[in-house]
Chains A and B, each alone.
Chain A
Amino acid sequence: MSALLRAEGIGKAYGRTPALVDADLTVRAGEVVAVMGPSGSGKSTLLHCLAGIVRPDTGTVTYDGRDLTTMSDAARSALRRGDFGFVFQFGQLVPELTCVENVALPLRLGGERRRAAERRAHEWLERLEAADAAGRRPGEVSGGQAQRVAVARALVTAPRVVFADEPTGALDSLNGERVMRLLGEAARDTGAAVVLVTHEPRVAAYSDREVVVRDGRIRDLMGAP
């Protein structure tokens, strides 16, 4: 399988503190890669660089042959809206909107009509076993349900890469596993790659392979290039 996303020799420092040092990582289409490591090791910085949220100080990040590090902010934003999906630990849903409106939001921002967008949003909510939440606001649903809504929102635009930063961090074991099972299934069905940042081995076990970040350096435990 060819590389969809590739980081080569990327480095990033915050002030004098290095967060990433000469980091290489390749993500292929359709694979789930877990990024593990202790708190403060550089996991989230790596994810932000790969997703074009943060520009690395050195090195390059290429997505589908395009260099994210030299791309304009507008082009990177367009890419994040269209090709990438995001799931974070919490605080990602708009509290004033219902869950179905939240899921439909990326489609609406992409110019899709309300009815069509909400129809697709409903389909994704069903798939994520969160259909009950459709008409409710995020504050009115459980944490597990809200996170499944967030996953539906990340997948509704059929992204080619889903970036998930501690997606189960705020959930109990059962809800966390449900989110991972559904995220994994949906990604497999749609062929999306998933970059999964987690410090929980049981969550990482849903991946195809994992890399460990320690002191800003990446170690690929499975020896993949």
Chain B
Amino acid sequence: MSTAWIIARHEFLSRVRTKGFIVSTLLAPLGIVLLVAVPILLTQVETPIQHRIAVLDRSGRDIALKLASADSSLFVPTDEPLDTLRARVLAKELTGYLLVPPDAIEQDSVVLFSRGGGGFGMHEAVTNTVREVFRRERLLARGADTALIRLAEQRTKIERVKVTAERTERDQTALLTGIGYFLSMVVYMLLFIYGGIVMRSVLEEKTNRIVEILASSARPFDIMLGKITGVGAVGLFQLALWLVLTAAAFALAGSMLVSMSGAATQMEALAYYRSHDNDIATLVLQAPSISLGLVVAFVFFFLTGYVFYSTLFAGIAAAADTEQDIQTLQAPVSIFIVLPILTIPMIMNAPDSTLAVVLSLVPMFSPILMVMRLFATEVPWWQIAASVVLMLGSIVGAVWLAGRIYRIGILRYGQRPSFRQLARWIVEG
């Protein structure tokens, strides 16, 4: 059995047994589910604050009655004097009152008196209903008949269909882009979390002088490789657990949604939530179809990104003596993990633009940006192939570079090496 393998196994086993691993594995899916479920639950259990707007109609066109019939929970016709209305508003019996002046239709304006506040929801409801009623009034005044008005008010449905070679299917671009964004953030976090684990563990072995014991039993390169493999296996294992746990949690949440909406089947519940414009519930009930290719690509870019950055982090930790050294030395590497995040909004908007293509092909950025693009658009095969080749090539480069720094660094103590010295270690090997 090779020493690298023994080291990898030790790293894996000693890490998955820690409390930290178990807790974070269980908590993350719980967090995701809560993030999705809580807003849905809130809309379900919420009893909205009852707003009441009194309507004082001086137009003589029954606008108050028409408003009340359009939204009876909001509008109440009234003929109380203004002072009384004012007092009732101040006494919080009414949210406000709407004054419809005699020439309201001609002037196309009404006045809403309120204490202010009340939230977007109330204002939107008032605005929409008032405009609707007024539009109808204007049309009637010009002699349009009711059937014509109803025709004019019909809303056109837009069904989004995506054209593929094999068949037509519902276009899930928006949803997939959202998932791509979420997953690229996951890659971003995992690169830092697992890169950080490798970095701290190399530093611990160096400062506790364990590395000298290891080096008396294995090649420095094998020590580094074993550690990166072991920690990477922990990351993959955790990712798989998260996937299974999250899927299970969503299945559970889905069945809860079905029962909450009072529907007998998932399809009925889906129709119910669609009609209520509840995107999140729709997402839970109808997971978009994600092809196996996308999953493989995600795992590939996560893994290669991890190997690329964690080897560099291992080299940095080997050159450092203290946490502070690490802070200084890691900056030129970490910046390449942060930079792609800044370009993500642009890539979400135009995933096929030349800039997006170029950025996603840069190996340091691929793990985050390729994942984003793969979900947001149809990436041509040659770009994927080029990215894979570039990624693997840069891993070889990173391993070579970090391996040389690691070999020299782990047995050097004292002054933190300057970047110039690091360059000399690399050149002289």
Q: Do A and B bind each other?
A: no
